[in-house]
Every structure is written in C-alpha cells, then in structure tokens.
Structure 1
Amino acid sequence: MKIKVGISSCLLGHEVRYDGTHKHLRLATESLSRYFDFVAECPEVGIGMSIPRKPIRLIGNPEKPEAVAVHDESINYSKALTEYGENKAKQFHDLSGYIFMKNSPSCGLFRVKVYQENGYPSHTPGRGLYAKALTDAHPLLPVEESGRLCEPLLRENFVTRVFAYANWQDMLKQGLNTKAILDFHVRYKYTLMAHSPSKYAELGRMLADAGNHDVDALAERYFTELMTTLKSLASRKTHTNVLMHLQGYLKKKISSQEKQELAGIIDQYRTAQIPLIVPITLLRHHFNNHPDPYIHKQAYLQPYPDDLSLRNAI
C-alpha cells in the first residue's frame, strides 16, 4: 500500500491559486507519487473562497498573525483558516507526512511574510495559519515546503522521515509491546547514528530497561525522540562513521583487496568525491554475498525504495 501524505493542491497541478494558476511540483507527481498516496487540500478554497480570488496576506504579530485580504484588511480569514486546519488535523490521523506550498499565508511553513503597519514585513517571519493549525495538532508529523524540497539533503531527509513515520504506524497497528519497540530500534539503529550519534546512544539508554516501564508511555517518549532526531540533517562525517561501523561486520568475510577497495570508497565519500549511493551499493553487494542477520534488519541500507534515487545527490 502507498503511504498517505498530505499536499497543497496547487502542487499537484490543480488550478486553485488566487490567480487561477497552479505551482506544479513534478517531484511529487513524477517521483514520489509512485509510493505516496497524496491527499490534496487547498484551505482557501476549503473555506469557500473563489477561484480566482483577491489575494490575502498575514499582518500583525508574527507569533500570532492574522490573515486578511490585501485590498481590504477588514476582511479577515484568520478564524476560518485556523478552524479549517484544526478540523482537517482531526481527519488526517492516518497521514505520514505533508508537503506545503511555500510562502503561502495559509500553507507556508517557513519565512512567510507578516506585514506591519508601516507596510513592510516584519524581520521575524511567520507560518501560514492552516499549516500552523495542522503542525500544532501533529507536531511529530514529517512536514516540508515545496521550495525546500529542491535541496537534495532536505528532500532525502523528508522522505526518510516519512518512511520511518509510516513504519512506526504499521508497527502500532500490529500491536504495541516492548519487543516491538526494541525491534524497531534495532531496525533504525544506524539511521539514528547517522543523524545524531549522541541521540542514538541516549535512545539506547532509554530502552536499556524497557521492560520496567509502561509500554504506552515508553513508546510515546521513544517516538518523540526518534522523530526529533531524524529532523536533524545527517552529515558526511556522521554517514562516514556509520559506513565504517558497517564495514566492521565484513572484516572476517571479505578479502584484503576487497577491504582496501571498500575503505577507499568510503574515504572518497568522506572527501566529497562521490555520492552516498556508491559506498551504500558496495556494502549491500558484500552483504548480499555474505549475509548477516543483524545487518539485514537495518533500515539504513535501504530507508526507502532505490528508484527514488535520493542518495545519488548527497
């Protein structure tokens, strides 16, 4: 089954923007749609605004801005957009991610302009009201903006989080128990290490006496830390650390020449001569020839389907 992911309707090519146009995101329709079942929403249309329509913008306090019509600030859409987001958040309990339209006063996640009385935007940016209502209700949900997905590291990070979130939800459906949490942690051990070695160690300590804790409270705590950790971007340094750990499982299984080749490839990745997919592919080749039950469980070697090609550019 495909993973359900929310998305701003205009990013799927729907002509719902204020001027009757769209902002088609080909990454979504030509790549991610192979594995994501997109749930499209345009909150402005959802609250009854027409297509085309007068544009809106945010004004006032960036921490709690209001959405008003550009031509007449007495026409206020703040309550409608916020309530629409809160209602949708209740319906979207089965989503594993969300892609929002950048800069939108309803859907923008980051750097949305909030205009002041002098006619200029505040130095402190805001967040679209619909996006804020949704993210407040689902703070661990992987979310990203359309524009930021053009950056390879951010794109790969978002997709990694979506698949991790979906895998956790699948685990919950099968029945929550201490063993399931421990098995999940084993699966994501090296993924966590790539994002934050210190957090990986901290989560390991958290689970060391898992059997002595209430399973629901432990699961909530663990998942919160997991998703928070995965939001931080993995670096070449931390990836190299993981690659070298994985290399250690092969030291008694491959020849000296193969060890030398693998070490050289990992170092070429470390020094930014090649992308991550190259050492990953070589490691997978060796583990296919020399299977290891523990490594076979690791999500790190294939956190999402290969044909998304996300590690080709990082």
Structure 2
Amino acid sequence: MSGESGGGPSHVGRPRGEIRPRVAVSSCLMGELVRFNGGHSRDRFLNGELDPYVDWVRVCPEMEIGLGAPRESLRLERSPAGPRLVTRRSGIDLTDRMTSLAVRRARALDVDGYVFKSRSPSCGVHGIPVHAGDTVVDRRGVGVFAALILRAHPLLPVEDEGRLNDALLRETFVERIFAHARLRALLESDWHARDLVAFHSRHKMQMLAHDPAAYREAGRLVALAGVRPREELAADYARAFGTAFARKASIGRNVNVLQHCLGMMSDSLDAARRADMAEVIASYRAGRIALSVPTTLLRHHARGQDAGYVRDQTYFAPYPEELRLRNHVPA
C-alpha cells in the first residue's frame, strides 16, 4: 500500500516481544501534510498513547489518485447511482478514480484495524453531507473510499478519530485491534489444532463479554479442530471471532464474566474476600467505579490462588496495561 510505514527508526525504544497490531490510518492524522489545504490533522491519542504499541500503515487516497496538496476541496453529490465524489469548485468527478483505488486497496488490505479521517468525503465513515447543488440533502453519507473498504471488510475494526474521543468507543476499538492481531499471529503461524484450542480457551471470557452467541459458535467450531480442513476451520473461526468483537461489551455482560470468574475461584477464597469481590462487582454494575477495579482485584486473587485458567484469560489484559483504557466510569 502506498504510503505504508512499519518498523524502522521511528520504533526505536518501543516495546518489543509483544504482538503488535497493524493499523491503517489516514496519513493526515499522523501529522503528514496531505490535507486539501496543505496542512495536517495530527491526532494526539494516535501519535501519543497508542503509537508505541502499533505499527501504522499510512494511507491518503486523495494523494494516491494524484490530487496533491494543497488541492481543491471535495464533496459528495447526490446521483441516481449513489453519491459521487466531485471537486467543490470546478465539479470534476473523481468517483471512478477513487473507486478503482479503493477496490485495489481493499483487495490487498492486511491490517488489524483502520482509523479514518472524520468528515472526509473520501474517508469519513459517519455523517458525511451529500449535496444537491448547493443544498445538503443527506447528512448520513459515507466517504467513497471508506465505503468500499467497509464493504470488503465488514468485520474489520474501524473508527474515525473524532469518535475515538469517546472513552468507551476508544476502549472498544483498541480491544478489537489487539484481539484481531493475536488471531492473525496465530493463523499466520504453523498452527495445529491444539494451538487453536489453547487460543480459544484464553479468549473465552473476553468473547463472552462481547457476544455470547458468537462465543458459543466459536466453541462449536473449536470442538471440530483436528477434524475439519485446516483452512476452512480457520476462516470460519476468524468469522465467529470477529463477529463477537464487533459487538460492544456491556455492563451486564461484563458483570456476568466477573461473577463467572469469581465463581471459578470461590473455593479458594475465604468468605470475606468473596464478599468483598461481590461488593466491588456490584459497585461496577451500579456505575460507581470503573471496570479496572474489579478486573484488577480478580486478577490479583487469581495470581495469589494460582488459578491459572482465570489468571491467563485475555479478558484481564486485552491490551497493554499502560493504555489505562478501563479507567473510565461507565455512564
């Protein structure tokens, strides 16, 4: 992909030895001077907290179709066949060029997530104005480039930088890209049936917090490991896994997982500790404390009681702890 960047000098001093998501990103969000006005839209979270833990694949579709920077701004215009991408002043139709690029990029895309530029008629994924002449007739449009990427990769974790300002959406997106990266690392390896079984076992509680139905479907697939053809099983498991994480975890499902894990350790905890944990979980359910409190305490107890199954669940460490994304109190 044109404009890609991965390792190299920019990664000196970053954490090593862990699975790193590959995340496509609109180049302007990384500070590249590719916007229509010759500037950038550098995002603080992407370039700051998240940057040490991911490998970025930088993409600017406008530059790739030869528009340059600075350039005439673009907009979406209504047509019977769907929104067209046109230059705002001169009315040049760029839809076919952008569509051709998007099809090529979608076919070759191999990433764990994508952060698009918000409000862009090329890359926006929510609420892009669609015009009829000088009148906005629809505010629910999707950028021409982004729409084709989304259609080709419906389970790919996707957000725009504006929505990542929301604490829950930010946590959900980051959780998804790390889960996606762990599965990609497994399936790119010389894995065997036992490896898929172990992977699924570690992710059970995390999947259950997102989508119990997809969790059960993934379990049924894993039960066939060693029986079904390897590539067919991998594709079906990846679909079930991605479907699970495409649904946001809820307070209720998190409480279910927390209580489930507590139940698995109940015989090794005394009555006082069980009562304390139950009270902490109830406080989380009531919206008085962040999820980080019960998960930290449960993980601490699992380590102290050598409860390996609970301790090793990815639910308790879905991404690097330094990101501190579970510290917000649920609304």
Fold match, TM over 0.5?
yes
Deviations 1:176-232 (A, max 9, x none): 433332222112100111012233223323433444422222221121121122111
Alpha-carbon separation, structure 2, partners of 1:273 and 1:202 = 34
Q: Does 1:21 align with 2:39?
A: yes
Written as runs of structure 1 = structure 2, the 5 A alignment for 1:175-214 is 175-214=190-229
Deviates more, 1:127-136 or 1:95-104: 127-136
Equivalent residue in structure 1 for 2:272, among 257, 276, 297: 257
Which deviations, in whole Å up to 9, do the C-alpha atoms of 1:104-131 show, x marking residues without a partner?
Answer: 11111122222235722326x2221221
**Amino acid corresponding to residue 244 of structure 1 in structure 2:** Q
C-alpha distance in 1 between matches for 2:192 and 2:80: 42
Instruction: Output the CA distance in 2 between the equivalents of 1:110 and 1:249.
Output: 42
Q: Distance in 2 between matches of 1:217 and 1:34?
A: 35
- The verdict on how the C-alpha distance between 1:196 and 1:138 changes in structure 2, with shifts beyond 3 A counting, is closer
The aligned residue for residue 114 of structure 2 is 98
**Over 4 Å off, 4+ runs:** none
Task: Identify the match of residue 110 of structure 1 among 126, 145, 166.
Answer: 126
Q: Does 1:278 align with 2:296?
A: no
Query: RMSD value over aligned CA atoms?
Result: 1.9
Q: C-alpha distance in 2, partners of 1:168/1:61?
A: 41
Which residue identity lines up with residue 125 of structure 2 in the other structure? L
Give the TM-score normalised by structure 1: 0.93
Q: Which residue of 62, 87, 96 maps to 2:104?
A: 87
Q: 1:44 Cα shift?
A: 0.8
1:116–1:28 distance in 2 versus 1, CA, 3 Å: same
Report whether the alignment pairs 1:235 with 2:250.
yes
Residues 63, 230 of structure 1: CA spacing in aligned structure 2 closer, same or farther, 3 A cutoff?
farther
- Is contact 1:62-1:126 (8 Å) kept? no
Alignment correspondent of 2:4:
none
User: Aligned pair 1:68/2:83, yes or no?
Assistant: no
Contact map agreement 1:262 1:279 (CA 8 A) in 2: yes
In 2, the alpha carbon distance for the partners of 1:47 and 1:118 equals 26
Deviation at 1:260, TM superposition (A): 1.1
Q: Do structure 1's residue 165 and structure 2's residue 183 form an aligned pair?
A: no
Distance 2:288 2:74 in 1: 46
**Which residue of the partner structure matches residue 52 of structure 1?**
70
State the Cα deviation string for residues 7-51 of structure 1 (Å, max 9, x = none).
Answer: 111111222211222222101011110101212121111211132
Give, in whole Å, the separation in 1 of the partners of 2:95 and 2:288. 50
Deviation at 1:287, TM superposition (A): 1.2
Aligned residue identity for 1:72: S
- In structure 1, which of residues 6, 12, 17 is the aligned counterpart of residue 30 of structure 2? 12
Q: What residue identity is the alignment partner of 2:103?
A: E
Matches within 5 A, 1:126-141: 126-141=141-156
Q: Deviations over 1:153-186 (max 9, x none)?
A: 1111111110111111110122243333222211
Residue identity in the other structure for 1:53: R
**2:57 matched residue in structure 1:** 39
Q: Distance in 2 between matches of 1:194 and 1:42?
A: 35
The gaps in structure 1 that reach 5 residues or longer are: none
Q: Which residue of 2 aligns with 1:120?
A: 136
| 2:157 corresponding residue in structure 1 | 142
Change (3 A) 1:117 1:296: same
The share of aligned pairs that are identical, in percent, is 36
